[in-house]
Structure 1
Amino acid sequence: MNKQQLAAKIWESANKMRSKIEANEYKDYILGFIFYKYLSDKQEQWLLKRDYAPEDIVEYVNEDDPEIVEASQQSLGYFIAYKDMFSTWIHMGSDFSVDNVRTALSSFTRLISPSHKKVFDGIFNTLETGLSKLGENTKSQTKAVSDLIQLINDIPMDGRQDYDVLGFIYEYLIEKFAANAGKKAGEFYTPHEVSVLMSELIAAHLKGQKELKIYDPTSGSGSLLINIGHAIAKYMDNPDCIRYYAQELKANTYNLTRMNLVMRGILPYNIVTRNGDTLEDDWPYFDEADPVMTYDPLYVDAVVSNPPYSQRWEPKGKENDPRYARYGIAPKSKADYAFLLHDLYHLKPDGIMTIVLPHGVLFRGGEEGQIRKNLIEQNNIDVIIGLPANIFFGTGIPTIIMVLRQKRENTDVLIVDASKGFEKEGKNNKLRACDIRKIVDTVTMRLDIPKYSRSITREEIRANDYNLNIPRYVDSSEAAESWDIYASMFGGIPETELAELNAYWNLFPSLKNELFVAENGYAQLRTEHLKQTIQENADVKAFLQHYQDAFSDLGEKLDQALIGQADQLSIPKAEDEIAGMILNRFEDIALADKYEAYQIFKTEYEQIAGDLELIQTEGMDAVRQVDPNMVAKKKGDDEKEVQEGWKGHIIPFEFAQKIFLKADLDAVDAKKARLQEIPSEYENILEECSEEEKETISEALNDSNDAFVIKNVKAMIKVLKQDAEENKILIERLSKAENLNSEEKKLKSEIKSAEEELHLKTKTVIENMTDEDIHHVLVIKWIDPICDGISKLPENLLGVLEKKVKALSEKYADTYEDIENEITKTQNELIKMLDELTGSDTDMAGIMEFRKLLGGE
């Protein structure tokens, strides 16, 4: 299975296993064991590369051999004896105990290399102290730990190029636990999409630099730093030239940061972390033993942070702190600007920072207003991005990303209202790939887009008393619908409202006159066949041809880029290059939304990337591979996996059947279709029977007389045949029901046999595909969905136009006079109905009064 499937399987199992333990706590156990497995497996691989045979590892890898201990510490920074290795726990079977884990973690701490203390010291404290919460006694704790280590044993730890399974699964689990942790989630997790957005903004600014230092002063799980590293690495030849600085207040979350960074293959030298209070102790950089005398501030290329929102802090004594001296002190009740100024202080002159903050920092007054004024006057605020609500786990408050720099050439501030671009996912909103790309493009190219973004001059900000509230500058709200009084009275579509569609009329100059006839500023729709008229317009046809020409070679280019180099391409770089190629083709195509095309590509590429990872890891023969289809079966209290047939490693069986075995598949589908028709034929037979006839044959029906009891039908026919002439019709109907039942049984048997045969045929077909077959299948699976999706975008565009024109024509189709006449007609009809009513004197008095209200005499 690919990394997405493996991650989903581990999450599902882990979530079932955690029982009553809070998600926020349980994450520390499973993630801690994953990290221990990573370190243990890494040491095994290191030993094997030093020509240790497996039996040598068993016999010699222990503390009694100081040479191997020292060599491991020098190379890896730690030493794990054979008896404490993760794989040893797995092989111990029923002899394994939770005490083995306690001993191993204690030994690990004792045997850390002095040079790696800051990276590894105390990293398993949360796991070690939490083992007792996994059960009431040693037996139950052992069972819980054993289940956990068996679950994560399948995770490969030898991350190959662009096949970072371990990192992906780790991040996947962190996100899932965050989604289940409620308000506590904000303590350690920034949603992946927000992290990617911030990373891309920073990477776009820093690309081209050979060495980088990046810093997160509220690092949480470390995902922000890691995503920046990934984003920047696309533009660097050597990702080992990035140094990561991180500080985190909460100890268990700080451990997540270190684990995450280490497991991404970042060199220990490049990991500089600290467990401490960012606002109290300005770190980096000082020696913990003498913080005052050794203070030497570090300046980095990028700072990224998602600090706790509006947290209380202690500003007393901070007046002379160099971080705040130029700008002011944040109020005691809200530390938002304290975090921002800390980040800004550590930026190099040409550096960049992004920070997530609550919306209130844009307009709150007092000390915050003064800090905001100073930031504007000193030209530090570069961009403000308004995010959708409910985008962070555990809080629905509106948030922003602020981009700041120490030195800028321009003096304006770009305001981006991205609050409307998202998709709903459960209780939360989520940025889509197209939303992220649009924001990044808007910021990097500093675009002014109506109702989305605008560059604001410093003079305009001053005129607004340094209030940066987004709606003051960018109005993204939908315009309130207005009604033309003349058109409401006399009909017709106002030209002013047709002018709102000028983007279409400019693109299709002849279309407006083909759709409308206009007089004195008001137009009437001149065709009943709106869709047909639009599609047959010469300008529309020319546009469609132009669009088709722009993408005529897209399939060929994708084939060359993906299938032609499947075993060697860089998956993230290929994604970036193809995305650029697709977006560039929209440069001279008006109205079509290039970000819709980008979303189509990104959605499909997720699947393609999973397939490419398998091909690059296992070779092209992976496409021919068929795996046992394992399903969970419950027997009593136990659940175990059993095989139910086969499944394609990369090519789904259903997919192969549609391509290579269509005739067989159609034959099975035809039988299934016939099987689905039979229930309605039973119903038709019963509908033909009167209630009296149903009573006659009730022995062959269920208690409510609305379905046949087939086992009784034959006996009922036998009874009816005693007077065959009189019961001729009923005998025919029951015989028909009996025949339908026979056909139904036969079809079910035939379908089962045919499906089993088709299943085995499919297995054989996949396993015996030629190279040409593989190419054909991958074109259909990878390339066609992208090309087909992008080719349909003009249809969507024309569909929107048709919908808008139809809405305008219907808006004024009924004039006020028409509506008044309809009301009068309805009232008159109701009066006539009231005249026909009879009742008591009081009833009639009430009816007469109602009649008067309706306008009757």
Structure 2
Amino acid sequence: MTDIVSPGVTTTVEVPKSSDTTLAAFIWKNAEDLWGDFKHTDFGKIILPFTLLRRLECVLEPTRDVVRDAHAKFKDKGLDIDLILRQTARLPFYNTSQFSLATLGATRTKSNLDAYIAGFSDNARIIFEQFKFTETVAALARAEILFKICQNFSNTDLHPDVVPDRVMSNIYEHLIRRFGAEVNEAAEDFMTPRDVVHLATTLLLDPDDDLFRNNPGLIRTLYDPTCGTGGFLTDAMNHVDGFRAQDKVPPILIPYGQELEPETHAVALANMLLRRLETEPARDLSAHIAGPKSTLSKDDFAGKRFHYCLSNPPFGKKWEKDQAHVLREAKEQGFSGRFGAGTPRVSDGSMLFIQHLVDKLERPEQGGGRAAIILSGSPLFTGNAGQGETEIRRWLLEKDYIDAIVALPTDIFFRTGIGTYIWILSNKKPKERKGYVQLVDATAIHSPMRKSEGNKRRFINDEQIQQIARLYGDFQSGENVRVVNYRDFGYRRIKIQRPLRLVAKISIEGIEAFQASKAFAKLDEHEQTGWMSLVREHLGETHPYAWFDTLTIKAKKAGLSKIGRPLAAALEAALGVRAPNAPEVLDADGNCVPDKEVEDFEIVPLDQEIDEYMAAEVLPHAPDAWVDVNYTDDRDGQVGKVGYEINFNRYFYKYTPPRDLHEIDAELKAVEKEIAALLDEVAE
């Protein structure tokens, strides 16, 4: 039981122990005391750090007295007091203050709370610095409600025995999501739904289950470059904890992460700070959670590689703030840096994060690494051959880094209903997977939410997660799976030319167009008069293309000397008219001049000969067409630019026959009757 204090009323409320969303709502009720003194958009900045503070306090409670005694005993001995106190607390953090939220007092609450925060070890105190907690405390004190808020939280039991770590992590994210909704910010920038997190983690780690099972105490590294509140890191660490056996130490994942937003970075720090290793309880697992800074422009782990990587970068987010650094790194470092394969358009940085993760995979000679990254559909197909996105896909596929792509159901994220995909990347693919990409269609594998949360109307339950994991693990083509040779995604974009066929048609409109051209305007008055006289002589006539040369010769004889290429081009553009049956226009070497207006491009499958494609698909419709052999690929020098596109619909499209016409006709007639009846009612 606990007391909720509201203006003029004290109510005893039982804190639920099982429902994280209910407990989050309970904690949020403190916002009732903030109304009137604070904007609702500031509530989250107050509620969240107090929730974290209370959690830290509950975790430290069993050893707080012995830690305080040890601090008094050793603080002036010249010893490593930080190490001593962490070992005493059997935690990676501690607090040496005499205060707790319950003992701050009503008269000097602010100064006592400041002293309480100052008593935390550096790695815990930084959490409150991220929240600018000192400013928050000062604002609460000025509003004369600081003591009340402290009392509210002191009566909320957040001990791990009451609220397990996983539930506590859900509470943080629920509060952040509610906070994000209050300020109208996109919740997907903060977190990934738990079911999606668990699916991605399962797909990433399941292939190594035997490794974890047979190697107690195995140490591996785990990295999330957009770690948010640390959901991926927590779930992956829980996964390997499941291999705990009697009298055996479980495998260990050492977490690394980086986060851009200060508040979510603070929660990630707290999550990892509260995490304990059985073999080394004083080890600080928050030590490698970097931020708040952008991974793309300020990589805190440059040169570092990891066994596993997990990420859900923001969908469709611009990277213009990182642009200068990214372009400089791509130019100066090439493939020795992160972005050698290319850079996408600035409106979406998803494919920068893919390259970043590949760069972070442990080297193959050291056992290699695997990664799972959640993306929207755009990295599958955006960009034409030769452009940044396609070149990145080309590099990923030709280097054989893409192991599998899983299409997820729509409506499973909080603030977007778009289709999303989990990409599994690897630089240590087993022999049977080399050269292939596994496509898994999981769009129909989902369950309905009992209560929608924003756009999240569906979720993937544990049984369905295992079903998807089995589809991935079996590596067998079937109704929901295709195993595709990577070259099947490739093509050459060839340029098709057709001959220019022109006649000279001298019309009033054509003469006026010639007169309005820039080349004509540069002539002096004498030249202009002479040209108009020459052209008007042929008004209403139509001549073969060769007439333009005849006119030029005639102009020279008339003393018109300024006959450069710009003027000839202006004359041709104004008076030239395309005629399908006219002879081909030839250049000085006797070659066909291509008609730029009918220039076209064709997509030729990578494993099909261009001549074969032309004979089957182009020449039957345009016998005079030819391939522009000067339009070549920048990398292999061959005709046509190479591109890659991963089109799920191509592999999983299911034909649905149209409904019977009689059935449709019957429905239309029924609707017509309903409309007629309604009109009769209106007329009456």
Quote the Cα distance in structure 1 between the aligned partners of 2:42 and 2:476. 44
Q: 1:457 to 1:128 in 2, by over 3 A?
A: same
State the 1:436 CA deviation. 2.3
* Partner of residue 273 from structure 1, selected from 289, 307, 312: 289
Letter of the aligned partner of 2:200 in structure 1? M
Residue 101 of structure 1 is matched in structure 2 by: 113
Residue 185 of structure 1 corresponds to 187
Report 1:316-331 matches (<5 A).
316-319=327-330, 320-321=333-334, 322-324=336-338, 326-331=340-345
The aligned residue for residue 353 of structure 1 is 371
For 1:175 and 1:125, the matched residues in 2 are separated by 18
Change (3 A) 1:38 1:482: closer
Change (3 A) 1:60 1:325: closer
Q: Return closer, same or farther for 1:405/1:97 CA change in 2, 3 Å cut-off.
A: same
- Relative contact order (C-alpha < 8 Å, sep 6+): which is higher? 2
- The aligned amino acid for 1:372 is R
Superposition deviation, residue 79 in structure 1: 4.5
Establish whether residue 137 from structure 1 lines up as the match of residue 142 from structure 2.
Answer: yes
User: Which among 142, 160, 163 is matched to residue 157 of structure 1?
Assistant: 160
Q: Tell me the distance in 2 between the aligned counterparts of 1:38 and 1:379.
A: 45
CA distance in 1: counterparts of 2:51 and 2:481, whole angstroms: 44
- Aligned equivalent of 2:388, options 348, 352, 367: 367
1:40 to 43, 53, 57: 57
| 1:407 partner SS | coil
Does the residue aligned with 1:279 lie in a helix, a strand or coil?
coil
1:101-147 CA distances to partner (integer Å, 9 max, x unpaired)? Answer: 22322343xx53xxxx5x75354440514525864824133333433
Q: What is the alpha-carbon distance in structure 2 between the residues aligned to residue 179 and residue 439 of structure 1?
A: 31
1:205 equivalent in structure 2: 207
Q: Letter of the aligned partner of 2:445 in structure 1?
A: G
TM-score with structure 1 setting the length: 0.48
Contact kept? 1:11, 1:176, Cα under 8 Å: no
CA distance in 1, matches of 2:96, 2:154: 20
* Residue of structure 2 equivalent to 1:430: 458
Q: Secondary structure at the match of 1:342?
A: helix
Contact 2:188-2:314 within 8 A present in 1 as well: yes
AA partner of residue 280 (structure 1): S
1:798-813 equivalences in 2 (<5 Å):
none
State the shift of 1:88 in Å. 3.0
Which position in structure 1 is the counterpart of 2:418? 397
CA pair 323-123 structure 1, distance change in 2 beyond 3 A: farther
Paired residues for 1:425-574 under 5 Å: 425-426=451-452, 427-428=454-455, 429-433=457-461, 434-450=463-479, 452-463=480-491, 465-475=643-653, 479-483=656-660
Correspondent of 1:83 among 98, 101, 107: 98
Q: Secondary structure at the match of 2:144?
A: helix
Query: Partners of 1:190 and 1:416 in 2: how far apart?
Result: 20
Contact kept? 1:200, 1:440, Cα under 8 Å:
yes
Residue-pair matches, total: 461
The structural deviation recorded for 1:470 is 1.5
SS of equivalent to 2:352: helix
Q: In 1, Cα distance between the equivalents of 2:270 and 2:343?
A: 34
Label 1:239 to 1:249 Cα distance change in 2 as closer, same or farther (>3 A): farther
Change (3 A) 1:26 1:419: farther
Q: 1:63 to 1:77 in 2, by over 3 A?
A: farther
Q: Percent identity?
A: 21
Give the TM-score normalised by structure 2.
0.60
1:715-730 aligned within 5 A: none
Structure 1 residue 157 displacement after superposition: 3.4
* Structure 2 residue 232 is matched with structure 1 residue 224: yes
Q: How does 1:47-58 map to 2 (within 5 A)?
A: 47=64
How far does residue 45 in structure 1 lie from its aligned partner after superposition?
Answer: 1.6
- For residues 338 and 164 of structure 1, the distance between their equivalents in structure 2, rounded to whole angstroms, comes to 31
Partners of 1:228 and 1:196 lie apart in 2 by: 8
SS of alignment partner, residue 253 of structure 1: helix
Among 426, 434, 445, the residue aligned to 1:421:
445
**Change beyond 3 A, Cα 1:316–1:391:** same
**1:225/1:401 CA distance change after superposition, 3 Å:** same
The 1-side partners of 2:238 and 2:92 are apart by 24
Structure 1 position 4, deviation (Å): 2.0
The structure carrying a bigger helix percent of its residues is 1
The answer to whether structure 1 residue 284 and structure 2 residue 301 are counterparts is yes
Structure 1 contact 98–141 (Cα < 8 Å) conserved: yes
3-state secondary structure, aligned to 2:327 = coil
CA contact (8 A) 1:381 1:403 kept: yes
Matched, 1:253 2:255: no
Structure 2 residue runs of 5 or longer lacking an equivalent are 1-14, 213-217, 492-604, 606-642, 677-684
Letter in 2 for 1:403: I
Deviation for aligned residue 1:245:
0.4
Kindly indicate whether the alpha-carbon contact (under 8 Å) linking 2:31 and 2:47 is maintained by their aligned counterparts in 1. no
Q: Which amino acid aligns with 1:467?
A: E
Q: CA deviation at 1:360?
A: 0.7
Partner amino acid, structure 2, of 1:44: E
Distance 1:367 1:224, change over 3 A: same
Amino acid at match of 2:145: S
Could you tell me whether the CA contact under 8 Å between 1:387 and 1:419 is conserved in 2?
yes
> What secondary structure does 2:404 align onto?
strand
Measured in 1, the distance between the counterparts of 2:460 and 2:20 equals 23
Shift of 1:167: 4.5
Aligned residue identity for 1:479: T
Residues 623-670 of structure 1 deviation map (CA, whole Å, 9 limit, x = unaligned): xxxxxxxxxxxxxxxxxxxxxxxxxxxxxxxxxxxxxxxxxxxxxxxx
Deviation at 1:3, TM superposition (A): 3.1
Q: Equivalences for 1:3-82 in 2 at 5 Å?
A: 3-5=17-19, 8-15=22-29, 17=31, 26-47=43-64, 66=76, 71-73=84-86, 75=88, 76=91, 78-82=93-97
Offset at 1:261? 1.4
Which deviations, in whole Å up to 9, do the C-alpha atoms of 1:661-681 show, x marking residues without a partner?
xxxxxxxxxxxxxxxxxxxxx
How far has the Cα of 1:85 moved from its partner? 2.6
Equivalent residue in structure 1 for 2:404, among 367, 383, 387: 383
Q: Name the CA distance, whole Å, in 2 between partners of 1:123 and 1:137.
A: 19
Please give the root-mean-square deviation of Cα atoms over the aligned residues, in Å.
3.7
1:331 Cα deviation from its structure 2 partner: 3.2
Match of 1:390, SS state, is: coil
**Letter of the aligned partner of 1:274 in structure 2?**
A
Q: CA deviation at 1:43?
A: 3.6
* Aligned residue identity for 2:99: D
Q: Is the 1:175–1:191 Cα contact (8 Å) retained in structure 2?
A: no
Amino acid at match of 1:332: V
Offset at residue 383 of structure 1 (A): 1.2
Q: Distance in 2 between matches of 1:323 and 1:217?
A: 16
* Aligned partners of 1:306 and 1:356 also within 8 Å: yes
Task: Please list the CA deviations of residues 28-57 of structure 1 after superposition, one character each: whole Å capped at 9, or x if unmatched.
Answer: 433323332343344432256x5x9xxxx7
Q: Secondary structure, in 3 states, of the residue corresponding to 1:402?
A: strand
- Indicate conservation of the 8 Å contact 2:127/2:269, yes or no: no
CA deviation after TM superposition for structure 1 residue 359, in Å: 0.8
- State the Cα deviation string for residues 178-216 of structure 1 (Å, max 9, x = none): 666653322221111111111111120232242210000
d(CA) in 1 for partners of 2:186, 2:137: 22
**1:235-291 Cα shifts (integer Å, max 9, x gaps):** 355347220001112222211111111223355344412113211133314xxxxxx
After superposition, give the CA deviation of every residue in 1:454-493 in whole Å (9 maximum; x if it has no partner).
2222232125652113212212x5723444x9xx7xxxxx
- One-letter amino acid matched to 1:143: K
Unaligned runs of 5+ in 1: 286-296, 489-810, 831-857
User: Are 1:456 and 1:473, in contact at CA under 8 Å, matched by a contact in 2?
Assistant: no
Taking the aligned partners of 1:299 and 1:127, their CA distance within structure 2 comes to 33
CA distance in 2, matches of 1:204, 1:169: 27
Name the CA distance, whole Å, in 1 between partners of 2:465 and 2:180: 21
